[in-house]
Chains A and B, each alone.
Chain A
């Protein structure tokens, strides 16, 4: 036997308690990692490679204020500008959706390949779209989720514009960080809504990185002191400007994370205290045969950290697997269900009927979750289009690991103190 083997044997002494402790740590860290990932996606949104050369031009007063279409010609003449397209957010609802689940944008199809070269569309699909004023292209994620295919007619009723658009799907695009949108001809929007000669924003492509700042400055200056002053900024800056509107949301998520951590601390501290209290006599025996306080404290710490580490592996590992390899996560969960079922059979053989029933019910729920994950196969489908990606960055893994480590240490402070104060004589008198 080794010391490590002794520690492991103690940690698994009460398998049910150990399993529940690990699962509680795992569930909490899963939630923590998910919240941190959501926060990360909100505050550091993913960006296409081509975004570094793109500029968004909007009204200086407010994003809700439209811009006159005549500005296009002026922007196109600015040195360094490669292409300009109107970029109007339609805000339409799809079928019976109560909320808008994916965005629709009115653009100029002729310049989209220049503005967004990362978008992949077959030449036939592109030509079909460009040739038909009422056609649209749909992102791969939305097409898969909604089972939309080329040739489908889809109506959108806008919450902003006083019109409904009947769009024919000409192609399915992919290759961008947000393959969930719909792009249609801005001309169709103009016709449907009475062509008031306005656009939502301008989407501009700059020829090179060096020209980015001069182009932005030139666009802002071009419309200074006019009736439609603009605010031009890089696409990245535009994305990040939405973050400032979420100040309270970030704090809110932060508070939830802190509450999760605190609840987890109470659970693990309580479990460790109970575990050590039950073993006071054994610890007194170990002291009697020569184990020093530091060795006993190390045993307790190692046991506590082992449970925390196991929970972290399951929780953080499970989150990573679910968000990056969703289908595989579903299969892994199915394997766990199979293992739990074997455990249920063992319980029945040992006549632990109540435990078997409860475990079977829980396993049934786990099985349903596994089935849902496998059949949906992606986070986008699982969330019905609400969540595109969740990236578990190394920083998030580091935060979760640090939380688990702190928990493992903090959970053994109280029992460690009790052991430090334990005299062999008093410990031997402890009842089992």
Chain B
């Protein structure tokens, strides 16, 4: 592992068994991701981008190989340890926002903090900071249905960074947004990487979105190309 790498992947493979057929999602991937990098993972549908993302984030396990994040071999953690590790080290941003509809924006952002030992005052401070960072300080009391798509995704980003994780995982974060909102989201992700030193790994189909990253890598049929 290089001194500045936050993610180190060696000979990573993932095979899904579907009845009698083995589907190779990832085939012997080796990759280093530097701390503070904004990496765009590109490739056609079914190339294994999301699978790779999920393994790095600790929500899926490889069939073979290793994946170290901040020196921790995530493939060796049990479910409980992984959950704890994710809460502290990973923030998720999904294509479909995935906010809890009955909670306000503030409460959605606060959700990961309920697992910490912070008191309500400390939680409120952190949530407000996260909402300010994404420009939604005045929308905290709104329900998701009262927000636009772009605002919902910004709330999701605030939720992803409220625990101050080193790693932000974004799976097609602009897939459901218009170009204006998509631009806002990409600017925020870029700011997280450049100004706050977070490592952002983003899966995208869109070359314009990938251009916001500091580096792009291509996956095709489970293998790195180019």
Contacts and interface: CB of A to CB of B under 8 A. Distances in A.
A3 B107 CA distance: 11
B54 interface: yes
A105 B108 CA distance: 73
Chain B contact residues (Cβ within 8 angstroms of A): what range?
A: 20 to 34
Contacts of A425: 54, 59-60
Contacts of A290: 83-84, 86-88, 112, 115
Given A290-B86, A292-B79, A1 B110 contact: yes
Interface string B101-140: 1110011001110110000100000000000000000000
Contact of B83 (A1, A9, A10, A287): A287
A13 B54 CA distance: 30
B9 to A, nearest CB: 18
B83 A13 contact: no
Given A424-B60, A428-B94, A289 B111 contact: yes
A366 interface: no
A291 interface: yes
B225 interface: no
Contacts, number: 65
A423 B79 CA distance: 10
Nearest to B85: A290
A156 B86 CA distance: 84
B196 interface: no
Chain B CB within 10 Å, residue with most, of A2, A9, A285, A288 = A288
Nearest to B79: A293
A9 B102 contact: yes
A281 B83 CA distance: 16
A423 B83 contact: no
Contact of A288 (B59, B80, B114): B59
B100 interface: yes
Interface string A1-35: 11100100110110000000000000000000000
Interface of A is mostly: helix
A409 interface: no
B35 to A, nearest CB: 21
Contacts of B101: 13
Nearest to B60: A425
B214 interface: no
Interface residues of A, number: 24
B83 A291 contact: yes
A20 to B, nearest CB: 18
A285 B98 contact: yes
B166 interface: no
B100 A282 contact: yes
B203 to A, nearest CB: 13
A286 interface: yes
B86 A289 contact: yes
Contacts of B57: 288
A288 B163 CA distance: 13
A282 B98 CA distance: 7
Given A288-B59, A289-B159, A1 B103 contact: yes
Nearest to A429: B50
B92 interface: yes
A428 B86 CA distance: 16
13 contacts: A1-B114, A2-B120, A12-B102, A285-B92, A287-B59, A288-B57, A289-B92, A289-B111, A290-B84, A291-B83, A292-B80, A424-B60, A425-B54
Given A6-B111, A290-B83, A425-B59, 8 more contacts: A9-B102, A13-B102, A282-B100, A290-B112, A292-B79, A293-B79, A423-B59, A428-B94
Interface of B: 54, 57, 59-60, 79-80, 83-84, 86-88, 92, 94, 98, 100-103, 106-107, 110-112, 114-115, 120, 159
Interface of A: 1-3, 6, 9-10, 12-13, 281-282, 285-293, 295, 423-425, 428
Sort A-B residue pairs by CB-CB distance and give the 7 closest, nearest first. A290-B87, A424-B59, A292-B83, A1-B107, A289-B112, A9-B102, A285-B98
